[in-house]
């Protein structure tokens, strides 16, 4: 290992990137080879394989990984011959490809192998093998119609065994593995049984192939999706520009409204354009969407490591990994999620003994589940541990001088103390949840991506953190209002009604307007002066009825200016603590306008 | 105390300077959207070619009496580094003077104040032939991130009836 540290000092970061990328390619290679078993002459797959090795070769060159370069070069050459001469990938070639992939994988797992004598010997032998085979192909000295799969073109249904059974029979997988894979099939509908097995490390690709070869049935041909790899920067630029385009278009619409009659054909064309642009916007946004799969896989690994490290009996479950989210957000989610999960495992779940005393199962359960709803993605991290000890939290906060200890706080408020900067009930600083990395950092990171955290605490029974994150910092439909000559934006989604009120509709308490009457019910008013330090002029009769989660509140405004598609821009970090704004936007007149945060408005008490 | 080129500007009766390398651009005054519940010297935000950046009024930051913005008032857009990220903040100043080259030997260390804080705002005092320029430590002066946290406790107020 020592030698390598010296050699790879400079390239360390590059090397890490190389390893990550190469592993991705190796995974794809395995998947492709499995597909090839049933479509030996599928040109696209052969192309994919060629490209994969070709890429690995190139990348290896950058980080001076000679061995990997040699292996990929030889493999790529063989693949090249196959695709040029339209040669089917026979059994032997498939095996060689897998072996190449395995060798490269071995090096990636342990880079020191490149200086290991024995390993190098094995590689040399293998390279010779490849060379020999290459020559054979050149000389067309091989069996063309190798029997990969006797009945690959045989559409007749025969007495066939399912691949799962075959693998079970020859002990490639065990019962547990079989069930696991079957369960996974629901989550990964586009992967075949064998692929899922390999992906989840339940079986080696080689064994799957052998199993498939034993199988006497034909699988249906899957269509291969062609994929393009694009630098994310390009996509980001595209999305940003689309945003600017929409703003400009909005400005044009505004002017047009003033100059042209609604019926003018110009207007119709303008509306057509805006419809097309909205679609384009949606498409460009979708380019950036990724599923939470890889994020969840990483978390699962870390969770299992933590469980092992602590020697606890905890079951870690992940759900909803196919939920999609903007890739930038997915990247930023990882750290806070890891922290919350580690937290649950180490501090949430109590020891088996304690659990049994309480009548719980000895093993604890930590679950992360994701789902999307109405433009937001929800991620819940729940455990069935001891929950948050409110008394402990309150005392700690008081001890650290973070709160006013003469005041009486509600349970919900005490829960939120854990988010106060400087708070931590972890007596011994351990590496589990990180030094000084508290919940406050988690909250900040979540709000940076435009999200919120909610705590549902059940002392003694468990705790649940719900993260609500916008699917993308998108274009949304906003209603522009003005209060005291300042414009603000409200999400149109949350607007139930706009009312012009009369004096009788106001309900006053102690001389102050507190509520409004609406049909049979009474709706509380949002005291906006608590935030804006100003109120709409007293005569305000214009009221907007806002809705959130089936609750209603009213906001008095001076004017409602209009509805627009607006591009939501996040507020810069300095303002990340201002809960009452959920972002800003640039209006038609070029000025910045703040988007009021509906959740905050609803949390404000109308006093 | 880095020597080099500084952009000098006036605030009241004083001349200040910031390292030219940190200056992104200088723009004229434009509509500032104010943001409630921020420190008083944070005037608000502006739209700089599609990017929303905060504006700090140095007069208010240094407790000099606030002055109405005139046509001469400028916004200097400065690059600042905070928590390993680079950001831009606009600084509203009375008027921009000139770019001067200040040699190392013409820079004196900043004076010591009783309140440790003020001391950090300056990287030094530049002595030129005809004037004295106070050289600002932009990363420290323009950092107001910690200050909006005052509201964290206020948020708990919302539970109160």
Mean pLDDT over A130-141 rounds to 77
What pLDDT, on the 0 to 100 scale, is given for residue B20? 92
Q: What is the pLDDT of residues A479-498, one digit of tens each?
A: 999 988 889 999 888 898 89
Please provide the average confidence, as pLDDT, over all residues in chain A. Answer: 79
CA A291, CA A370: separation in Å to the nearest integer? 10
Residue A386 scores a pLDDT above 50: yes
- In chain A, which residues have their Cβ closer than 8 Å to the Cβ of B155? 579
Q: How far apart are CA A149 and CA A214, in angstroms?
A: 8
Beta bridge mates, B87: B80
Assess whether pLDDT exceeds 70 at residue A338.
yes
ipTM of the prediction: 0.81
Scanning A389-448 for CB atoms below 8 A from B yields: 402-403, 409-410, 412-413, 416, 420-421
Rounded to the nearest 5 percent, the helix, strand and coil shares of chain B are 20, 45, 30
Q: What is the pLDDT of residues A100-126, one digit of tens each?
A: 998 999 899 888 888 888 888 888 888
- Among A20-29, A249-258, A314-323, B20-29, the minimum mean pLDDT is found in A249-258
Average pLDDT (A149-172) is: 52
Residue of A nearest to B51 (CA): A569
Tell me which residue has tokens 């939470």.
Answer: A292
pLDDT at residue number A472 = 61
| Distance (Å, whole) CA A466 – CA A458 | 14
Instruction: Look at A403 and B156 and tell me if their CB atoms are within 8 Å.
Output: yes
HEC profile for A231-287?
A: CHHHHHHHHHHHHHHHHHHHHHHHHHHHHCCCCCHHHHHHHHHHHHHHHHHHHHHHH
Q: Which of A189-203, A306-320, A548-562, B17-31 has the lowest mean pLDDT?
A: A189-203
Residue A279 in this model has a pLDDT that exceeds 90:
no
Residue B8 is predicted with a pLDDT of 92
The set of long-range contacts for B136-140, using a CB threshold of 8 Å and a minimum separation of 24, is B136/B16, B136/B17, B136/B18, B138/B18, B138/B19, B138/B22, B138/B78, B138/B80, B139/B80, B139/B81, B139/B82
pLDDT at A218 (0 to 100) = 35
Residue A95 has pLDDT above 60, yes or no: yes
Give the model's confidence band at A157: pLDDT under 50 very low, under 70 low, under 90 confident, else very high. very low
pLDDT score of A380: 95
Indicate if the pLDDT at residue A54 is higher than 80: yes
What is the tens place of the pLDDT at every residue in A221-258?
334 457 787 887 788 778 778 877 877 787 788 788 78
pLDDT-based confidence at residue A435 (cuts at 50, 70, 90): very low
Please state, in angstroms and rounded to a whole number, the distance separating the CA atoms of residues A309 and B143: 40
pLDDT tens, residue by residue, A388-416 = 888 888 888 888 887 777 888 888 888 88
Helix (H, G, I), strand (E, B) or coil at B62: coil
CA dist A574 and A576 (Å) reads 6
pLDDT, residue A474, reads: 60
DSSP 3-state percent helix, strand, coil across chain A (nearest 5): 50, 20, 30
User: Of A166, A215, A96, A240, nearest to A586 (Cα)?
Assistant: A240
- Alpha carbon distance A560, A568 (integer Å): 19
C-alpha distance from residue B96 to each of B16, B28, B46, B91, B140 (Å): 10, 10, 19, 11, 21
Mean pLDDT by 10 residues, chain B (161 residues): 82 88 90 88 87 88 77 87 77 89 85 60 86 88 62 39 26
Q: Residue A314: is it exposed, middle or buried by C-beta count within 10 angstroms (0-12/13-18/19+)?
A: buried
Contact of A34 with A195, CB cutoff 8 Å = yes
Interface A-B: count of C-beta contacts within 8 A: 91
d(CA A25, CA A19): 10
Chain A: give the shortest CA distance to residue B147, in Å: 9
Better-predicted residue by pLDDT, B53 or A193: B53
d(CA A420, CA A405) in angstroms, rounded, equals: 15
Distance, in Å, from the CA atom of A281 to the CA atom of A276, rounded to the nearest integer, reads 9
Nearest to A590 among B47, B151, B160 (CB): B47
Nearest alpha carbon to residue A314 among A338, A284, A274, A350: A350
Please check the confidence at residue A207 and state whether its pLDDT lies above 60. Answer: yes
Lookup result for tokens 């499995």? A34
Q: Given the structure tokens 């950001």, which residue do they identify?
A: B87
Q: Measure in Å the smallest separation between the Cα of A563 and chain B Cα atoms.
A: 20
CA A396 – CA A365 distance, rounded (Å): 27
Token look-up 């990017």 returns: B51
Residue A143: its pLDDT value, please?
44
The three-point CA angle A218-A219-A224 to 5° equals 140
Provide, as residue numbers in chain B, all residues whose Cβ is less than 8 Å from the Cβ of A421.
Answer: 149, 152
Strand partners, B89: B78
Give percent above pLDDT 70 in chain A: 84
CB distance A554 to A516 below 8 Å: yes
At residue A326, the pLDDT reads 81
Highest-confidence range of A172-176, A279-283, B82-86, by mean pLDDT?
Answer: A279-283
Supply the DSSP string of A418-476, one letter for each residue.
Answer: GGSTT----SS--TTT-SS--HHHHHHHHHHTT-EEEEEEETTTEEEEEEEEESSS-EE
Give the confidence band of A11 by pLDDT, cuts at 50, 70, 90.
Answer: low
- pLDDT (average), residues A452-465: 91
Closest residue in B to A573 (Cα–Cα)? B145
> How high is the pLDDT of residue B119?
52
For the purposes of burial, counting CB atoms within 10 Å of the CB of A295, is it exposed (0-12), middle (13-18) or buried (19 or more)? buried
> With contacts defined as CB-CB under 8 Å, which chain B residues touch A580?
36-37
């Amino acid at each position: 290992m020592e030698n390598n540290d010296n050699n790879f000092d400079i390239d360390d970061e590059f090397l890490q990137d190389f390893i990550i990328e190469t592993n991705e390619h190796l995974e794809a290679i395995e998947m492709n080879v499995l597909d090839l078993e049933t479509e030996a002459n599928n040109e696209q797959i052969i192309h994919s394989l060629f490209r994969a090795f070709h890429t690995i070769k190139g990348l290896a060159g950058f980080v001076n990984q000679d061995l990997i370069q040699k292996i990929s070069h030889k493999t790529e050459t063989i693949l090249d011959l196959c695709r040029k001469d339209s040669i089917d990938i026979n059994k032997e070639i498939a095996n060689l490809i897998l072996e190449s992939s395995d060798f490269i994988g071995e090096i990636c797992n342990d880079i020191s192998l490149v200086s290991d004598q024995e390993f190098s010997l094995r590689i040399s032998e293998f390279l010779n093998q490849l060379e020999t085979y290459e020559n054979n192909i050149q000389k067309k000295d091989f069996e063309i119609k190798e029997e990969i799969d006797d009945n690959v073109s045989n559409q007749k249904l025969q007495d066939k065994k399912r691949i799962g059974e075959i693998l079970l029979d020859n002990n490639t997988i065990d019962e547990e593995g079989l069930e696991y894979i079957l369960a996974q099939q629901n989550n990964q509908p586009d992967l075949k049984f064998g692929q899922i097995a390999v992906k989840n490390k339940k079986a080696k690709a080689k064994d799957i192939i052998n199993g498939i070869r034993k199988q006497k049935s034909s699988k249906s041909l899957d269509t291969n999706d062609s994929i393009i790899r694009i630098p994310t920067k390009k996509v980001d630029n595209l999305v940003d520009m689309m945003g600017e385009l929409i703003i400009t278009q909005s400005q044009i619409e505004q002017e047009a409204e003033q100059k042209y009659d609604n019926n003018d054909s110009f207007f119709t064309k303008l509306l057509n354009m805006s419809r097309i642009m909205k679609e384009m916007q949606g498409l460009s946004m979708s380019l950036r969407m990724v599923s939470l799969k890889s994020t969840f896989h990483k978390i699962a690994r870390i969770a299992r490591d933590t469980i092992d490290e602590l020697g606890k009996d905890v079951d870690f479950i992940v759900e909803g990994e196919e939920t999609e989210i903007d890739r930038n957000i997915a990247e930023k989610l990882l750290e806070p999620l890891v922290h919350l999960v580690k937290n649950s495992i180490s501090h949430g779940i109590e020891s088996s003994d304690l659990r049994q005393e309480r009548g719980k199962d000895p093993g604890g359960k930590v679950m992360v589940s994701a789902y999307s709803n109405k433009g937001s993605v929800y991620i819940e991290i729940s455990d069935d541990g001891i929950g948050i000890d409110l008394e402990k939290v309150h005392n700690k906060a008081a001890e650290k001088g973070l709160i006013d200890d003469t005041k009486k706080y509600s349970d919900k408020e005490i829960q939120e103390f854990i988010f106060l900067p400087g708070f931590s009930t972890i007596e011994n600083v351990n590496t589990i949840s990180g030094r000084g990395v508290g919940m406050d950092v988690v909250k900040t990171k979540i709000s940076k991506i435009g999200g919120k955290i909610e705590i549902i605490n059940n002392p003694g029974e468990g705790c649940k953190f719900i993260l609500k994150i916008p699917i993308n910092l998108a274009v949304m439909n906003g209603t522009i209002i003005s209060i005291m000559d300042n414009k603000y934006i409200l999400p149109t989604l949350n607007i139930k009604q706009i009312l012009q009120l009369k004096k009788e509709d106001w309900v006053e308490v102690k001389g102050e307007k507190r509520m409004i009457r609406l049909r049979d019910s009474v709706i509380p008013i949002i005291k906006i002066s608590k935030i804006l330090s100003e109120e709409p002029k007293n005569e305000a009769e214009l009221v907007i009825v806002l809705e959130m989660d089936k609750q209603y509140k009213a906001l008095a405004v001076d004017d409602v200016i209009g509805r627009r598609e607006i591009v939501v821009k996040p507020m810069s970090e300095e303002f990340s603590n201002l809960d009452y704004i959920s972002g800003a936007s640039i209006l038609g007149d070029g000025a910045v306008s703040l988007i009021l945060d509906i959740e905050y408005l609803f949390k404000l008490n109308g006093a | 105390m880095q020597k080099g080129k500084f952009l000098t500007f006036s605030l009241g009766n004083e001349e200040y300077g910031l390292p030219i390398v940190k200056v992104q651009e200088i723009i004229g005054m434009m509509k500032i959207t104010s943001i409630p519940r921020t420190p008083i010297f944070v005037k608000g935000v502006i739209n700089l070619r599609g990017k929303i950046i905060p504006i700090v009024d140095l007069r208010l930051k240094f407790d000099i009496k606030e002055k109405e913005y005139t046509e001469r008032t400028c916004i200097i857009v400065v690059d600042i580094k905070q928590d390993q990220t680079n950001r831009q903040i606009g600084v509203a100043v009375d008027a921009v003077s000139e770019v001067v080259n200040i040699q190392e030997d013409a820079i004196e260390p900043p004076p010591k104040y009783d309140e440790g804080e003020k001391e950090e705002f300056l990287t030094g005092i530049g002595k030129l032939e005809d004037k004295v320029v106070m050289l600002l430590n932009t990363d420290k002066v323009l950092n107001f991130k910690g200050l909006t946290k005052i509201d964290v406790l206020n948020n708990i107020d919302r539970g109160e009836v």
